[in-house]
Amino acid sequence: MELTNTSFLLLGMVALGPMSGYDIKQRADGSTRHFWQISYGQIYPELKALEKAGMVQTAEAARGSRQRTLHQLTETGTEALSDWLSDSTVTPVELRDEMLLKLFFSDSVGKEEQIQLARNMARRHREAASGLATQAPPHLDKPCPMRMEVLQFGIGLHSWCADFYDNLADRLSSPPPLGSPQPSRGGGRRAGGGPQDV
Amino acid sequence: MELTNTSFLLLGMVALGPMSGYDIKQRADGSTRHFWQISYGQIYPELKALEKAGMVQTAEAARGSRQRTLHQLTETGTEALSDWLSDSTVTPVELRDEMLLKLFFSDSVGKEEQIQLARNMARRHREAASGLATQAPPHLDKPCPMRMEVLQFGIGLHSWCADFYDNLADRLSSPPPLGSPQPSRGGGRRAGGGPQDV
DNA sequence: GACGACATGTAAAGAGTTACATGATTAT
DNA sequence: ATAATCATGTAACTCTTTACATGTCGTC
């Protein structure tokens, strides 16, 4: 069986403890959603496939007459997850952002519209950051430093983006008089030599 | 006809000047690739659909007997693009990152492997940033401040990520003695009140 | 002559979302 | 009662990538 990244998300979640498909969705929405979304339409069929492939075991755990199927890793599943985690292949990060696409093509629209777009983008990222910040910290019974790091990453990333777009909107709102030095960007850009500063 | 974001990418590109499908692909790979990928499998069929819908006009511009079809915006197409640009709907940014998924689940692997993963991620982003920095600045005949802003955004974003992951690798390499203050993160995190600092 | 860039296209597969259907339990 | 949440599932659809096919032109 060909395991996809989504399979590994499921295996990884199930490794955290016995879980139902519903549990996995809740957990993923509360943690991996910002860099790996997942829907029921993938979860339930894929869990069945993983069971068939001997990667997870299921146990009925109905509450009253409300059905509930818990999943846990088998040895095969543990090994598959472990192999994946140890694999050091470098894969590219994928980003898709309709608003950024708009911004890219917005040289032809009025300045007011550009500013509004930038502000909306800033707000979007500000909200994403505070959404993550509010996120229930995963169980503290077991230490999970990496999960915390990834959470901090998300918060930091969205904050950086929000700062960038707010700064852009500021600069569009009050263009500096010709010949005067640009005020430095509030946020990032310490690193990584820009392109010959065109 | 239902226009998708990919349609608008095509319209936006064609608005920059008459272009062939091949040209669009080259341009997109050199500019929008980092937040909106596109493949020939979408470009050519979609260009035909846009022509059929009266959004673009085509002109044969063969060089010798090597065929070449140039596309330019019609009035309908210009209007559609303009409407899209003016639409201020807020849409979420989509991120997918297999390596980050690995990092998220890497509490169970050895520290050496965690460090290697973080370093690989840092390198990946460093390379993405310098790839963008090297990117041919779009024609300077016409001013294109927004396209430059988006380029700077990409460079800044990847630099911030690279800094984060290098810093993480550093912290994993030499954990600070208990009770001593954490050295501040080289990069971001000015903003956005973290989650009750667990 | 062979290779790399130019140029256009299609078919099939893959990944993922959306919308729907069903039913139980808990809180208001 | 009734709404929200718990819980599982499927079918259809959309979007995108991959792999292939075809042929030209410049240059090493």
pLDDT at B125 over 70: yes
Provide mean pLDDT across the span B145-161: 97
| Residues of chain B positioned with their CB less than 8 A from the CB of A191 | 129, 159-160, 162-163, 187
Residues of A (72-131) whose Cβ lies below 8 Å from B: 81-82, 84-86, 88, 90-109, 113-114, 116-117, 120, 123-126, 128-130
Residues 6 or more apart whose Cβ sits within 8 Å of residue A198: B137, B140, B148
What proportions of chain B, in percent to the nearest 5, are helix, strand and coil?
55, 10, 35
Choice among A37-41, B17-21, B62-66, B134-138 with the minimum mean pLDDT: B134-138
| Residues of chain A positioned with their CB less than 8 A from the CB of B186 | 190
More confident of the two residues B190 and B34 = B34
Instruction: Round to a whole number and report the distance in Å from the CA of B94 to the C1' of D23.
Output: 39
The pTM (predicted TM-score) of the whole model is 0.90
pLDDT at A90: 97
Q: What are phi and psi of B22, to 5 degrees?
A: -60, -45
Residues 6 or more apart whose Cβ sits within 8 Å of residue A52: A1
Is A182 within 8 Å of chain B by CB? Answer: no
* Cα B119-B120-B124 angle, rounded to 5 deg: 115
> Does the C-beta of B63 come within 7 A of strand C?
yes
Is B22 within 8 Å of chain A by CB? Answer: no
Enter the tokens of residue B160.
Answer: 């911030």
Provide mean pLDDT across the span A165-189: 76
pLDDT band for position A189 (50/70/90)?
very low
Instruction: Round to a whole number and report the distance in Å from the CA of B149 to the C1' of C3.
Output: 38
pLDDT at A136: 67
> What tens digit of pLDDT does each residue of A86-110 get?
999 999 999 999 999 999 999 999 9
Is A160 within 8 Å of chain B by CB? Answer: yes
Which amino acid is present at B31? S
Is B36 within 8 Å of chain A by CB? Answer: yes
Helix (H, G, I), strand (E, B) or coil at A154: helix
Q: Which nucleotide is nearest to B58 (CA to C1')?
A: C8
* Cα B12-B18-B19 angle, rounded to 5 deg: 80
pLDDT band for position B104 (50/70/90)?
very high
Distances (CA, A) of B175 to A75, A156, B183: 32, 21, 10
pLDDT at B189: 38
Mapping DSSP onto H, E and C, the string for B60-93 reads ECCECCECCEEEEECHHHHHHHHHHHHCCCCCCC
Count of CB atoms situated within 10 Å of the CB of A174: 8
pLDDT at B176: 74
- The topology (CATH level 3) of A5-86 is Arc Repressor Mutant, subunit A (1.10.10)
**CA A47 to CA A14: how far, in whole Å?**
10
From the list B96, B120, B144, the residue facing A94 with the nearest CB is B96
pLDDT at B136: 66
Count of CB atoms situated within 10 Å of the CB of A97: 24
Q: Where are the domains of chain A?
A: 5-86, 98-173
Whether B148 sits inside 8 A of A198 (CB atoms) is: yes
Q: Which nucleotides of D are covered by protein (CB under 7 A)?
A: 6-12, 14-20, 23-26
pLDDT at A191 over 80: no
Nearest to B8 by CA among A190, A100, A7, A1: A100
Instruction: Round to a whole number and report the distance in Å from the CA of A164 to the C1' of C6.
Output: 38
pLDDT at A138: 62
Average pLDDT, chain B: 90
pLDDT band for position B198 (50/70/90)?
very low
> What tens digit of pLDDT does each residue of B34-71 get?
999 999 999 999 999 999 999 999 999 998 899 999 99
A120 in Cβ contact with A99 (< 8 Å): yes
Q: What are phi and psi of B53, to 5 degrees?
A: -85, 0
DSSP A65-129: TB--EEEEE-HHHHHHHHHHHH-------EEE-HHHHHHHTGGGS-HHHHHHHHHHHHHHHHHHH
> What tens digit of pLDDT does each residue of A109-167 get?
999 999 999 999 999 999 999 999 998 666 666 889 999 999 999 999 999 999 999 99
Provide mean pLDDT across the span B145-159: 97
> Partners of B124 in the beta sheet?
none
pLDDT at B175 over 80: no
Place of tokens 């370093």: B119
Whether A35 sits inside 8 A of B160 (CB atoms) is: no
pLDDT at B138: 62
